[in-house]
Amino acid sequence: MNIPFSRHTLDNGLDVLIHEDHGCPIVAVNVWYHVGSKNEKPGRTGFAHLFEHLMFEGSEHYDRGYFQPLQEAGAQLNGSTNADRTNYWEVVPRNALELALWMESDRMGFLLPALSDAKFENQREVVLNERRQNYENRPYGFAGMAMVAALYPPDHPYHWMTIGAAEDIRAARLDDVRAFFQTYYRPRNASLALAGDVDTREALALAADYFGGLDAGDEPPPVEFAAPPAITNERRLVLEDRVELPRVYLSWHSPALFAEDDAELDLVAEVLASGKTSRLYRTLVYDQRIATEIAASQNSREAGGYFQIIATAAPGRTLQEVDRAIARVVEAFIVEGPTAPEMERCLAQAEASFMYRLQTVGGFGGKSDQLNAYNIFVGDPAFFERDLERYRRVTPESMQSAARRMLRPDARIALSVVPRGRAALALPGSQPVSVS
Amino acid sequence: MAVNRAHLPPLGPDPPFTFPEIQRRVLSNGLRVWTVEHHAVPLVSFLALLPVGAAADPQERPGLAALTSDMLDEGCGELNALELHDTLGRIGGHLDSEIGSDATILTLSSLARFADRGAALLADMVRHPRLEQRDFDRVRELRLNRLVQMRDMAPALADRAYTQLLYAAHPYGHLSIGTEASLRAMLLPEVAAFHSAMFCPSRLTVIASGDATHEGLADFVKAAFDGWTATEGNGDGVVDPSTLPLPSTPPERVALVHRADAAQSELRIGHVAVPRSTPDYHALLVLNMILGGQFVSRINMNLREDKGYTYGARTSFDFRRGAGPFTLHASVQSEATADAVLEALAEIEAIRGARPPSTAELQTGRAGLTRGYPRNFETAEQISRAAAQLALYGLPDDYFSTFVPKVMAVEADDVTRVARAHIDPSRLLTVIVGDRDKVGPSLPRLNLGAVTEVTNA
């Protein structure tokens, strides 16, 4: 399986990727800009995401909001920002392809003339409300911020989450928006993928018409950072929150996206905590019933990753019990490696997850999003097959070896999130942290 | 070609769309098998629809239907829970189980080469769940823990208070998870009895879709479900919610669930509205698109894009077999709570006649439903879910192909008429989950009488 496509680079450096799929009379238009919160500076966090909001507020030649003409054409559309990239997409009926290209190219080329204080201040309030809704008012909502702040030093671009600090969002200025746009929102720093019911030649001609005339701009400055210092002594932290049940977050530095051991750790996470047969679920939730939720993930990004296990204690059980049980399970996995049935299962699941991602042309994770991800992160939109191959190459020994080297007990951050006023429920020796 | 940025490009004619063919069969035991071919990727999906949901919970046992559906993957036939999930993992399977007021839906997707095993596993879960005490104890405990955690989730608190106040003792008056008291009192034999009374071949529709022929898909289902016969007691005890009297309008107009230091106020505003069978269905969809059903709707543009009170506000009609609610959902900045509620109430009032839909609004509202319609039929699972709606609500075979013309026939007058007929501002209940001290002083401005405080239990 793969995603057949053609690639054409316009003179201004914009990559245009086209994939034909005539199953449904729709087309996905997907644009990635290679900029995210890791391009921000301390004190100005949250900016890349706030900027994304402004991309929906109109541009020079259609300054009445981005949604109106597209929803009227039957489009679904959205955008998102993470540490490494910002993406924008529309899924439109095929007769609205030109409209979507018109709109995307207008905001890529002509956003600034339409920018105003009123729009900026409105979206700053909207983003502050997004932060309240998804972080401040949500149980355990601050845990992610506390964890990345502990994993990475203050000058490392993964030290903060993409949503940013509320005071930084308030401190953002309209001039910052202009500078950010001119630096990063350039054709050469972007990739355009069209997937669906299109004719490649016609679609390419349209894309060239709409985007070809935009100014290439300068190469954006590289993100500068030093690798985070290795964790050599376990750090224990406690965060008090409005929660009922204590929860522990255990994190280790791990390889970057597509780097050596990344696929191995993905599958380690699968064997440890995906489904009822997984080792941690079976031990902590199914047999011993000391935890009520368990999860594990390899969170790999462009400039490094972290492996994380999250467990919520069952009522009346302690985080210490939970932590000891997790440690035993992880240790046993490192000693034994995966069993044959575990290998069979996690490889089948990996294969299936690639297939599930091929079902849609657009949206988050659809084929157009995949093509852009591969193009932006490895410079090769055809990476699908090689990506799948990374998983097929994993052996029990390579999984075991990756787990042994990465998941060392002394190389982890252990964050306890406990009910307010009950810091004693944290793992012993935890230092208080505060996040707001 | 020179790009013309003076105006937006014309759309041209809407592309024709052919709906995927659904083939319908009935097994000798009464089970309905619907099949849809979809060859884009080597996957198959089997969806089992049982038109029995949380509304079928006995009055004193809210949560029974949900817990029963949760027990189905805790071991079946020869397999215990771990073996079942091991099998599922080895076929690249995804199992999804969901329960609503009117239905329980299990969906098992897998790699196409394992379709026979996928269908067999699904059938085993539906027909022969092991329902063992030890598993029951654990599953119940996990659900009790979930209830404990919900005490700190503003959306869950809002949904519960809103549902209870609107529906009281009606079968729609509780969340599917039930209550702590009910879960604690529940016994395994009640689950077994509920399963054996509700799960029977004549009630089930299995929708198979994916990378196989109609015959091939039907054969997988047939092989898995043939020989299943109804047992005594099947068919008893399910009340059709559409036959029950509607709950009376609650005396409260504003209810507050206090949440100290809450960063926002979680809002629900609405009342009991109409069932899925309403002849005004398509007009109500258009009304909702204009009022609060999409980004460019009046309420979102007002509360978010104009005022900046919220990350987003939406309205919906929850169409069920019995009358479901019309509801506005939003989470708003605490300081702006009263203003946000007043703006929302004013928008709801205005669409009943003071500010009828403009031509542009009508066009956008209709187009959002019609031009985007084919998008809902892209994947095998989407098609199965769409087909499940036909089965659940007894919609006609030509439902999909008549949808677009029916929506296009809705005019501005229809929108105003159905808004007047089905939205009554004097009956709207507002539920606020927020900080009493931050929110309380501004609530008299709503002019809706005394605020009822609901205990956060």
Quote ipTM for the complex: 0.94
| Whether residue B269 is found in the same domain as residue B168 | no
B6 is a domain residue? no
B351 is a domain residue? yes
| Whether residue A323 is found in the same domain as residue A395 | yes
Q: What is the C-alpha to C-alpha distance for residues A268 and A404, in angstroms, rounded to an integer?
A: 11
CA distance B409 to chain A (A): 17
Assess whether pLDDT exceeds 90 at residue B233.
no
Assess whether pLDDT exceeds 80 at residue B174.
yes
Based on the structure, what is the number of domains in chain B? 2
Q: Is residue A105 within 8 Å of residue B8, measured between CB atoms?
A: no
- Tens of pLDDT, residues B133-155: 999 999 999 999 999 999 999 99
Q: B284: domain range? A: 246-454
| Whether residue A163 is found in the same domain as residue A114 | yes
CA distance B154 to chain A (A): 8
Question: Mean pLDDT, to the nearest integer, of B414-424?
Answer: 98
| Whether residue B372 is found in the same domain as residue B348 | yes
Choosing among B19, B136, B311, which should be mutated to test the A contact, i.e. which has the most A CBs within 10 A?
A: B311
Assess whether pLDDT exceeds 90 at residue B162.
yes
B14 is a domain residue? no
Last residue of one domain, picked from the residues B237, B267, B302: B237
> Is the CB of B89 less than 8 angstroms away from the CB of A348?
yes
Percent of chain A with pLDDT over 70: 100
Q: Report the pLDDT value the prediction gives residue A1, as an integer from 0 to 100.
A: 75
- Tens of pLDDT, residues B319-330: 999 999 999 999
| Whether residue B284 is found in the same domain as residue B228 | no
B5 is a domain residue? no
For chain B, the helix, strand and coil percentages under 3-state DSSP, each to the nearest 5: 45, 20, 35
In eight-state DSSP terms, residue A59 is B
A225 is a domain residue? no
Last residue of one domain, picked from the residues A211, A246, A268: A211
| Whether residue B95 is found in the same domain as residue B128 | yes
CA A72 to each of CA B100, B269, B402: distance values in angstroms, whole numbers, following the listed order: 31, 27, 20
Structure tokens at A372: 């852009």
Q: What is the C-alpha to C-alpha distance for residues A148 and A272, in angstroms, rounded to an integer?
A: 22
The CATH number of residue B424's host domain is 3.30.830.10
Q: Is residue A156 within 8 Å of residue A225, measured between CB atoms?
A: yes
- Tens of pLDDT, residues A140-156: 999 999 999 999 999 99
Q: What is the C-alpha to C-alpha distance for residues A371 and B5, in angstroms, rounded to an integer?
A: 29
Q: What is the C-alpha to C-alpha distance for residues B79 and B39, in angstroms, rounded to an integer?
A: 31
| Whether residue A185 is found in the same domain as residue A260 | no
User: What contacts 24+ positions apart, CB below 8 Å, involve A277-281?
Assistant: A277/A345, A277/B82, A277/B85, A277/B86, A277/B89, A279/A329, A279/A332, A279/A333, A280/A309, A280/A311, A280/A326, A280/A329
- Tens of pLDDT, residues A43-58: 999 999 999 999 999 9
| Whether residue B304 is found in the same domain as residue B442 | yes
| Whether residue B167 is found in the same domain as residue B264 | no
| Whether residue A248 is found in the same domain as residue A384 | yes
Percent of chain B with pLDDT over 90: 92
Q: Is A69 an 8 Å CB contact of chain B? A: yes
Closest partner CB to B364 (pick from A71, A98, A102): A71
| Whether residue A85 is found in the same domain as residue A189 | yes
Q: How many residues does chain B have?
A: 457
Assess whether pLDDT exceeds 80 at residue B30.
yes
| Whether residue A379 is found in the same domain as residue A278 | yes
Nearest 10 degrees: Cα torsion B286, B289, B290, B294:
-170
pLDDT band at B234 (very low <50, low <70, confident <90, very high): low
Based on the structure, what is the number of domains in chain A? 2
Which residue's structure tokens are 């949440």? B259
Q: Is B136 an 8 Å CB contact of chain A? A: no
A217 is a domain residue? no
DSSP-based three-state secondary structure for B145: helix
pLDDT band at B232 (very low <50, low <70, confident <90, very high): low
| Whether residue A205 is found in the same domain as residue A324 | no
Percent of chain B with pLDDT over 70: 98
| Whether residue B200 is found in the same domain as residue B268 | no
B1 is a domain residue? no
| Whether residue B55 is found in the same domain as residue B123 | yes
| Whether residue A124 is found in the same domain as residue A17 | yes
| Whether residue B364 is found in the same domain as residue B440 | yes
A424 is a domain residue? yes
| Whether residue A248 is found in the same domain as residue A363 | yes
| Whether residue B259 is found in the same domain as residue B399 | yes
Q: A64: domain range? A: 6-211
The CATH number of residue A276's host domain is 3.30.830.10
| Whether residue A60 is found in the same domain as residue A108 | yes
B349 is a domain residue? yes
Contacts of A257 (CB under 8 A, 6+ apart): A300, A301, A302, A305, A377
Q: At what angle do helices A319-336 and A262-273 cross, to 10 degrees?
A: 120
Q: Is B113 an 8 Å CB contact of chain A? A: no
Q: How many residues does chain A have?
A: 436
Assess whether pLDDT exceeds 70 at residue B457.
no
| Whether residue B340 is found in the same domain as residue B449 | yes
Q: Report the pLDDT value the prediction gives residue A143, as an integer from 0 to 100.
A: 98
B7 is a domain residue? no
| Vertex B357: Cα angle to B386 and B320 (nearest 5) | 30
Assess whether pLDDT exceeds 70 at residue B37.
yes
CA distance A222 to chain B (A): 32
B277 is a domain residue? yes
Q: Is residue B46 within 8 Å of residue B162, measured between CB atoms?
A: no
- Tens of pLDDT, residues B50-71: 999 999 999 999 999 999 999 9
Last residue of one domain, picked from the residues B180, B215, B237: B237
Last residue of one domain, picked from the residues B237, B256, B288: B237
| Whether residue B312 is found in the same domain as residue B446 | yes
Q: Is A12 an 8 Å CB contact of chain B? A: no
| Whether residue A241 is found in the same domain as residue A327 | yes
| Whether residue A244 is found in the same domain as residue A144 | no
Q: What is the C-alpha to C-alpha distance for residues B287 and B416, in angstroms, rounded to an integer?
A: 8
> Is the CB of B264 less than 8 angstroms away from the CB of A137?
yes
